[in-house]
Homo-oligomer: A and B are copies of this chain.
Amino acid sequence: MTFPAVPIVAAPMGGGPSTPELVAAVSGAGGLGFLAAGYRTAEAVAEDVRATRELTAAPIGVNVFVPGAPADPATYAPYVERLRAEGHPVGEPRWEDDAYAAKLDLLASDPVAVVSFTFGCPDAAVVRRLQAAGSTVWVTVTSVDEARAAVAAGADALVAQGVEAGAHRGSFADDAGDLTLLVLLQLLRAATDVPLVASGGIASGAGVAAALAAGARAAQLGTAFLRCPEAGTAPVHRDAVATAAPTRITRAFTGRQARGIVNRFLAEHTDGAPAAYPEGHHATAPVRAAARAAGDADALHLWAGQAHELAREVPAGELVRALAAEARDALAAAGSALR
């Protein structure tokens, strides 16, 4: 496939929200749903793909994390020690590669329509292997330099992620700048002809229309789907998304820049949180698991994009159709302003 009939993509949301039911509902409505392979074994991803296919025959996508390098323990040791001293249940701050090779093997042998990458640029050989298997390959970028590298590696399309996006910044290294989606789309349109998927802060049909007008072929929304009944969003997270609470970028929860709703853990631990991923993720995993189980909004990572309060509590397929209809209206209205 190249792009879905309805240019709306459900972003891969690791850690629970992107269930097979959510992915199937979005793809079934003519958009494109994404499973999140991150934090899961290759076997669990295979099972997710199988479960999704039982629900829909429509094309689906799978997102894979590109592994980085281990951090020097000296960079995260003081942070881990501080968490421990504060009484938090701290996990082992270990590095691992999120089963990268096994996931690539799975996707090469049992291909899906689109494989997208986050946290880095896959090697050209990896891109070619997946393309040879029949998949389209997307790479997430946050800057023009990253875009050039992804195009050089053979990416079929770029997911342009602006700073307003919820959850992790998809930059290759943990040094993303602060380009907003609208700026990034304009800079990328001037730098490359590769198709763009717009990501970050899109939460309405007008937002979808704006992304398309800025030159994107599709709009990828994550936070906008968090309140859908098909999403596996934790109840405490679901409630927070529905408020107008401010968001902030932090490394406190995982050792990598990510945008979440400001809560006590984020406010108290952003300063001093190290750039060490996934060591930071594993260190705080028990803290977050306990918070999720207890429904404690003050210690859970409440990933959300800046426009989270606009997320609607409606079935995902209905949301895709509503956003597309609103986007059509928005483009027509904009056209009449340019009389």
Contacts and interface: CB of A to CB of B under 8 A. Distances in A.
B186 A164 contact: no
Interface of A: 5, 7, 144, 162-164, 177-183, 185-187, 189-190, 200-204, 206-207, 209-215, 217-218, 244, 246, 248, 305-307, 309-310, 324, 327-328, 330-335, 337-339
B215 A179 contact: no
B210 A190 contact: no
B180 A334 contact: no
Contacts of A244: 144
Given A183-B307, A338-B7, A331 B206 contact: no
Given A183-B305, A183-B306, A214-B330, 17 more contacts: A162-B182, A178-B306, A182-B201, A182-B202, A183-B201, A186-B201, A186-B207, A187-B307, A189-B204, A207-B214, A213-B327, A213-B330, A217-B337, A328-B338, A331-B335, A331-B338, A335-B335
B177 A180 contact: no
A319 B246 CA distance: 37
Given A186-B204, A187-B307, A190-B310, A212 B180 contact: no
